[in-house]
């Protein structure tokens, strides 16, 4: 259905080579069991993208594909509109600006200066969406970026971008983290941004992130948190900011405690910020409701349900060189 062979060929003869055969088998199983009529519609839209050659690419604040569009502008615009909504961005396809719901460049600005040097590193981006952050990682020198996201819309949006960039070292695979082979232990850096609070078992998610890292590798964890003390977390009954799949919002001390318990070290909070309506808002490429509609109109420090408004923490941690979990002894 989708040709991932260029990516598999790219990771051969790298630290990721042990993943080649399991990945090929998992993809084949995905195609064999596929039962999603939406994918056919998305791939049809993808095939209507015009054949335009890019003169250059800028993997900067706006991921930009440069070149003359000629008479193909209307066809390009129509094909990109058929892949709405665009939640992550911004992108510029030739002379068409895609102003996505999320200004992901603002989050990247908060992250970039704290990361270990990405040059030459093999990166796993969990919950990657359409791959915007992966392009920023490539610009920072990453050798490989493997995005994983179960949304076919995200997968196909990435294919649309990469149709013109043509980089086999960056992909978005239609998987969740828990569906990957356990304890791969091959990635230099693993990103999990905006995923933890969607997991029913946050400790299992942290264990799976640890298992994907090589010893000494770095975890980049960004998630919703609440203010409070160690041991405290919010478990919303019903929805949180109109989302029905939010399970745990810990305090930062609680999150650090979870990471320690799951075997990480060198844990540090490097950023904490309240999500603003400058960063998440509706646009022509994602119309409808957005953050302003999820907050209490009388008191924007609360969600519409009365919970604390979204605050996001960015934490870095390391998988120890020795791969054993910390032992706890009773007095």
Domains, the chain, with CATH or none:
5-318 (3.40.50.150)
Quickly tell me which residue has 């318990």 as its tokens: 261
Q: What is the pTM of this model?
A: 0.96
d(CA 202, CA 195): 9
Q: What is the pLDDT of residue 39?
A: 95
d(CA 314, CA 268): 9
pLDDT means per 10 residues, the chain with 331 residues, are 96 97 97 91 97 96 96 97 98 97 98 97 98 98 98 98 98 97 97 98 98 98 98 97 97 98 98 97 98 98 98 98 63 52
Q: What is the pLDDT of residue 326?
A: 61
Q: Using alpha carbons, select from 162, 115, 148 the residue that is nearest to residue 268.
A: 115
Q: What is the pLDDT of residue 330?
A: 53
d(CA 277, CA 289): 12
Q: What is the pLDDT of residue 331?
A: 52
Peptide bond preceding 90 in cis form (omega within 30 of 0): yes
Would you say 92 and 63 are in contact if contact means Cβ atoms under 8 Å apart? yes
Contacts for 206 with CB less than 8 Å, ≥ 6 apart: 196, 258, 259, 262, 264
Q: What is the pLDDT of residue 325?
A: 58
Q: What is the pLDDT of residue 322?
A: 78
**Bridge partner residues of 280 (DSSP):** 102
Q: Kindly report the backbone phi and psi dihedral angles of residue 241, in degrees, each rounded to the nearest multiple of 5, phi listed first.
A: 50, 45
d(CA 97, CA 274): 27
Q: What is the pLDDT of residue 1?
A: 80
Peptide bond preceding 109 in cis form (omega within 30 of 0): no
């Amino acid at each position: 259905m989708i040709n991932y062979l260029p990516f598999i060929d790219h990771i051969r003869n790298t630290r990721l080579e042990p993943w080649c055969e399991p990945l090929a088998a998992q993809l084949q199983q995905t195609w064999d069991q596929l039962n999603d009529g939406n994918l056919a519609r998305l791939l049809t839209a993808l095939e209507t993208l015009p054949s335009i050659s890019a003169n250059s690419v800028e993997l900067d604040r706006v991921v930009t594909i440069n070149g003359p569009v000629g008479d193909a502008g209307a066809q390009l615009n129509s094909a990109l509109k058929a892949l709405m909504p665009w939640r992550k961005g911004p992108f510029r396809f030739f002379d068409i600006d895609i102003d996505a719901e999320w200004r992901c460049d603002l989050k990247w600005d908060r992250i970039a200066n704290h990361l270990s040097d990405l040059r030459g590193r093999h990166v796993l981006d969990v919950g990657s969406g359409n791959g915007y952050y992966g392009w920023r990682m490539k610009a920072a020198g990453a050798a490989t970026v493997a995005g994983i996201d179960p949304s076919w819309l995200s997968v196909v949006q990435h294919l649309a971008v990469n149709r013109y960039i043509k980089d086999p070292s960056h992909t978005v695979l239609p998987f969740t983290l828990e569906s990957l082979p356990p304890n791969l232990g091959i990635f230099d850096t693993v990103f999990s941004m905006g995923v933890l609070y969607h997991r029913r078992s946050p400790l299992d998610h942290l264990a799976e992130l640890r298992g994907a890292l090589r010893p000494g590798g770095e975890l980049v964890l960004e998630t919703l948190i609440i203010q409070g003390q160690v041991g405290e977390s919010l478990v919303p009954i019903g929805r949180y900011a109109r989302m029905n799949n939010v399970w745990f919002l810990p305090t930062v001390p609680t999150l650090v405690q979870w990471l320690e318990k799951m075997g990480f070290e060198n844990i540090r909070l490097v950023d904490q910020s309240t999500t603003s309506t400058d960063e998440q808002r509706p646009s022509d490429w994602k119309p409808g409701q957005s953050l302003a509609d999820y907050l209490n109109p009388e008191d924007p420090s609360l969600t519409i349900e009365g919970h604390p408004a979204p605050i996001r923490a960015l934490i870095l941690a390391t998988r120890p060189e020795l791969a054993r979990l910390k032992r706890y002894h009773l007095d």
